[in-house]
Amino acid sequence: MNRATQEQQSRSKPFFSSAFVRRSLSMLFIAIVALIFIFENTAETTVRLLVPVVTMPLWGALLIAWVLGLLVSLFGLRRRER
């Protein structure tokens, strides 16, 4: 096998064979399902924020919790890389 054939075979890998692509697609799928769940819950709910009691839509409380979870995981990943 010559060098040109080897280079062509190495460049023609399937798109989904990359671990990064598979991981990104699975995380995107989970995020979409989570957002659908969040925005389907439209009932009013009472939330206690340390001292004040707030009445807000359930999707707002779920969205706040989801964003806080994302931030915590991003900080954890960032620390692990160092």
DSSP 4-48: HHHHHHHHT--GGGSHHHHHHHHHHHHHHHHHHHHHH---EEEEE
- In the chain, what is the greatest distance between 2 CA atoms, to the nearest angstrom? 73
Residue 42 has pLDDT above 70, yes or no: yes
Local confidence band at 2 (pLDDT 50, 70, 90 cut-offs) = low
pTM value is: 0.63
